[in-house]
Amino acid sequence: MLEFAILGFLFDSRLHGWELRTRIAALTGHVRPIADGTLYPTIKRLADADLVLKNIEAGSIAAPRHMLEISPAGEAKLLHMLREPAEVFITDENHWYCLLAFLRHLEDPAAQAAVLRRRLVFLETPASFFYDGDKPLRAEDVDDPFRRGVLQVARATSRAELAWLKATIAELEAQAGRETVRN
Amino acid sequence: MLEFAILGFLFDSRLHGWELRTRIAALTGHVRPIADGTLYPTIKRLADADLVLKNIEAGSIAAPRHMLEISPAGEAKLLHMLREPAEVFITDENHWYCLLAFLRHLEDPAAQAAVLRRRLVFLETPASFFYDGDKPLRAEDVDDPFRRGVLQVARATSRAELAWLKATIAELEAQAGRETVRN
DNA sequence: CCGTGGTACCTCGGTCCCGAGGTACCCTCA
DNA sequence: TGAGGGTACCTCGGGACCGAGGTACCACGG
């Protein structure tokens, strides 16, 4: 997840660790702040695997900065993670939002649509948080006001996301169709 | 999180590990399935800490079952986690939903309302996933269709949840007021 | 009567991440 | 001029969870 976000931000531009830290904090920080004791070891791992390149530059303000740049191998890795995301990136909201933040890097509209379709399938499979035996319970079936809240909010989210997904998939697939005709 | 869910389910009734597993799978499983290699060590930790009590019973169907029961210390721990939840239970959606699933165990409506108020404060602090410098970007400000999707869906969720939160807090506080008058 | 599948529990190595700590540099302001 | 605060990077111990493996028991079908 963190690794993914790092590669995603570096795909756009060269950054140093500190700047990366603030961007990641913006993306996921209000939900789950990321400790820098997590960030730097992760950067080191990526550098050791040659997925990012490190250049030490004299710091303009404070300590010397380690400018980070994504390597061709890193780009390939990111694109692969975008094209065939792990299941948790489809089902877990935090992961999914993170994926969406960088999905534009996958330039092929058909491939983008395919990823959105996976999320669509996931959202359309009937599921609830609470069950009576095998039967998924709906908001109306539940007395507990807090559990009813969970179901109501989840339903509103689901509706909004389904609408957006369907519209966007249609647009992307139309675009993909036009590109196929042109070639 | 897992520890919390275990105590939450056991607060209601005695269960064995396997049954606990299916209930937790229902609650959080469609988002992030929980491995039984995680569940059993966690149960053991809780048992060692005397938060749950274990009784081995002859299995009616298959292997002998370890019936689990929450202890008074376990109940106290759960109620404390409900009354003063850690920050991540307020900000992270998965944690928050899990908290809501068991919030009814906290019988005092004023205490329940206080927890909902913490979530309200969190949702009302302006935040975005994307920034232009310091300025949080809104859906209309973003060109990338995927990032716009994130912002649109997040806004819809936020609206639905705020409406529910405000209505429920009002109800709970009215109830708390009546109870104060009565005593 | 033996294999398969479902129930129930457990172990162990490994990954991801946290958080509390530390170092070093530079700027600002009293 | 020196104390405080912001920038930038790093280490280390530990906790939560995964996942691939294993054991054992029972029921059912061929």
Tell how far CA A157 is from the center of its chain.
17
A94/B92 Cβ within 8 A: yes
| Lowest-pLDDT range of A114-128, A158-172, B86-100, B119-133 | B119-133
Beta strands in A7-144 (DSSP E): 15-16, 52-57, 65-70, 131-132, 135-136
Low-confidence ranges of chain B (pLDDT < 70): 58-63, 182-183
Tens of pLDDT, residue by residue over B133-142, are 777 888 888 8
pLDDT, tens digit (0-9, with 9 covering 90-100), for B121-168: 999 988 778 887 777 888 888 899 999 999 999 999 999 999 999 999
Annotation: CATH topology of A2-79: Arc Repressor Mutant, subunit A (1.10.10)
State the average pLDDT over residues A142-163: 94
Quote the crossing angle between the two packed helices A109-124 and A72-83, to the nearest 10°.
40
Q: How far is the CA of B48 from the C1' of D9 (A)?
A: 40
For residue B33, the model assigns a pLDDT of 80
- The pTM (predicted TM-score) of the whole model is 0.90
Instruction: Give the mean model confidence (pLDDT) for residues A24-53.
Output: 88
Q: Measuring CA to CA, which residue among B16, B100, B1, B91 is closest to residue B52?
A: B16
pLDDT of residue B61: 61
Please tell me the distance from the alpha carbon of residue A28 to that of residue A165, in angstroms, as a whole number: 21
Residue A165: phi and psi, rounded to 5, are -60, -50
pLDDT at B183: 63
Average pLDDT over residues A154-175: 95
What are the extents of the domains in chain B?
Answer: 2-79, 107-182
Q: Is the pLDDT of residue A59 over 70?
A: no
| Strand C nucleotides with an atom less than 7 Å from a protein beta carbon | 6-13, 16-21, 23-27
Cα(B149)–Cα(B139) distance, integer angstroms? 8
pLDDT band at A182 (very low <50, low <70, confident <90, very high): low
Footprint of strand D on the protein (CB under 7 A): A 16-19, 36-37, 40-41, 43-44, 59-66; B 1-3, 32-38, 41-42, 45, 59, 61-63
What value does the mean pLDDT of chain A take?
Answer: 89
